[in-house]
Amino acid sequence: MPERKFFVGGNWKMNGSKSSIDGIAKFLSDGNLDPNTEIVVGCPSIYMDYAISKLPKNVKVSAQNCYKVPSGAFTAEISPAMIKDIGSDWVILGHSERRNVFGETDDLIAEKVAHALSEGLNVIACVGELLEERESGKTQEVVFRQTKKIADKVSDWSKVVIAYEPVWAIGTGKTASPEQAQEVHEQLRKFLKENVSDEVANSTRIIYGGSVTAANCKELAKKADVDGFLVGGASLKPEFVNIINAKQ
Ligand code: PEP
């Protein structure tokens, strides 16, 4: 089975300032970051350039969104070409806040994934069910629907990380149990096996997001199909170092 390097993403959301980025740069530089973890932090686009100049070089900076075309009359949007131009290779797409606060559809997210990949970016593609969908037994149906739309547009799976983020766990302090996370990750890997290939299923990182903290990361990281995390709130705090080092 191909090795899946442990992957920890941060998502700063709409938080931060130059001075708080200086603080994050300090705790990341001072922390003994596990060299076996790939680290990527999602930064507000206006601060990406600054973050790239300040963060240690083993911490990559990602955009939190982008549009589906290279340029044009799309006020306030940013393109993959711009992200690459300032020295970043990563974008988060389909985050639940983009889906549920800003109304991004499965189709739009899939188009964005296709364009970002065609421009050479790596993509953290997010999927996850709402609380009412989980409670009505629709978790698998929802995450498969979201993943299928994305999978149909993926040209190069080596550039994709799937983030399973149950919406009820994001920013709520309610983490999925390691068993709940493992169950969905295993289903997603099976989906990749059946719909893409064995090789892609074995090599694609499927990371978990939703109230991950220093206190719960180690148990989650022990699960066979949990290949890392996407971390919101805790990625702004020194405990992010403990999450990066969850496998130690
Ligand atoms: C996120 O923003 O992707 C996230 C998982 O947030 P939090 O860790 O704060 O729940």
Torsion angle (degrees, nearest 10) of CA 37, 192, 92, 156: 90
Our mutation pick for probing the ligand 1 site, out of 95, 211, 216, counting the most ligand atoms within 8 A of Cβ, is: 211
Distances (CA, A) of 21 to 49, 53, 152, 195: 11, 10, 37, 41
Return the pLDDT at 248: 95
Average pLDDT value for residue range 141-157: 97
pLDDT band at residue 155 using 50, 70 and 90 as cut-offs: confident
Q: Chain-wide mean pLDDT for the chain?
A: 97
CA geometry: angle at 116 spanning 114 and 119, to 5°? 105
- Pairwise CA distance, residues 6 & 137, whole Å: 30
Residue 95 a catalytic site member: yes
* Residue 2, pLDDT above cutoff 60: no
- Pairwise CA distance, residues 99 & 182, whole Å: 23
Residue nearest to atom 6 of ligand 1 (CA): 232
* Residue 209, pLDDT above cutoff 60: yes
For residue 230 and ligand 1, the question of a CB distance below 6 A is answered with: yes
The ligand 1 atom nearest the CA atom of 169: 10
Residue 119 a catalytic site member: no
Residue nearest to atom 7 of ligand 1 (CA): 232
Residue nearest to atom 4 of ligand 1 (CA): 232
Domains of the chain: 6-244 (3.20.20.70)
Return the pLDDT at 4: 98
